[in-house]
């Protein structure tokens, strides 16, 4: 139960902060040598269900409004659908390949690469006029959606790479994060359903552990979303990039010492 709560907190925080949830969820069991149900596909689905609940609850008013205006051809809902396609296609066709490449070394590499993108995307932030989420075009949605597809690689970070893409397209930080979260909702839901299919013939599950992980990740995720949106009103994403560099260093050091 202790491990389930810890991983629920880790998932809730890192799914939305631009630091890579997949990296942390792979590294925690590896580093502490946790095994069993908390290192299983079923528990991973439970954690993602929790963060999906956090997204739906936090942005419930946004989604209701999007559904109400869906008849408008320029509606934000259609832009989100367009932006979801690249990750959906990549997830279906490249899932097995990605699952086979989840080593600490690959995670450390992708942590560093995306950190560089995060820092570079901030260099010209104050030198041009920034737009809000309402100005997102279909082309920009597709561009950000393609960036989201790369988040399937462990260590990239869905929020990190999509916020970077939004900044590159001239969005304000907070609006880039808000669009990132809206865009991630169908992606997380689809990924969870894809994995959940494999659980139909799974052995008996420990529901208390699953419920604990789901609830903790949902509550933690809600506050992580709230914190990041407020943080980005006044601050850059650079501190998260520096943390990612530090995490990559710790990973490399751990691999070397364990070997």
**pLDDT digits over 158-189, tens only?**
999 999 999 999 999 999 999 999 999 998 89
User: pTM for the whole thing?
Assistant: 0.90
> How many domains is the chain built from?
1
Taking the C-alpha atoms of residue 188 and residue 176, their distance in angstroms, rounded to an integer, is 18
Q: Is the dihedral of CA 62, 64, 67, 68 positive or negative?
A: negative
The sign one gets for the Cα dihedral 158, 161, 167, 173 is positive
pLDDT digits (tens, 9 = 90+) for 147-161: 999 998 889 999 999
The tokens for 229 are: 């949106």
User: Which one, of 210, 87, 229, lies nearest residue 158 by Cα?
Assistant: 87
Tokens of 237: 């994403």
Q: Which domain holds residue 80?
A: 2-258
What are the pLDDT digits (tens) for 211-241? 898 999 999 999 999 999 999 999 999 999 9
Q: Quickly list H helices, 33-149.
A: 41-58, 60-68, 76-99, 104-122, 138-149
User: Do 108 and 251 meet the contact criterion of CB atoms below 8 Å apart?
Assistant: yes
């Amino acid at each position: 139960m202790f491990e389930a709560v810890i991983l629920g907190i880790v998932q809730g925080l890192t799914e939305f902060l631009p630091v890579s949830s997949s990296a942390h969820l792979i590294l925690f069991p590896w580093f502490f040598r946790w095994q069993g149900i908390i290192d299983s596909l079923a528990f991973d689905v439970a954690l993602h269900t929790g963060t999906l609940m956090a997204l739906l609850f936090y942005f419930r008013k946004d989604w209701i409004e999007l559904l109400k205006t869906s008849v408008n051809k320029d509606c934000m809902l259609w832009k989100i659908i367009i932006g979801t396609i690249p990750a959906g296609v990549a997830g279906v066709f490249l899932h097995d390949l990605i699952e086979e490449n989840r080593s600490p070394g690959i995670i450390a590499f992708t942590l560093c690469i995306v950190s560089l993108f995060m820092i570079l995307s901030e260099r010209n932030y104050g030198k041009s006029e920034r737009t809000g989420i309402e100005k997102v075009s279909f082309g920009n949605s597709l561009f950000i959606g393609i960036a989201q597809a790369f988040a399937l690689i462990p260590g990239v970070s869905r929020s990190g790479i999509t916020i970077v893409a939004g900044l590159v397209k001239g969005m304000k930080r907070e609006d880039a994060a808000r669009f990132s979260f809206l865009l991630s909702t169908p992606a997380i839901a689809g990924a969870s359903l894809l994995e959940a299919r494999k659980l139909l013939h799974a052995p008996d599950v420990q529901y208390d552990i699953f419920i604990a992980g789901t609830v903790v990740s949902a509550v933690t995720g809600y506050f992580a979303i709230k914190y990041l949106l407020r943080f980005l009103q006044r601050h850059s994403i650079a501190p998260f990039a520096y943390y990612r560099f530090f995490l990559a260093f710790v990973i490399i050091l751990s691999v070397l010492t364990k070997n």
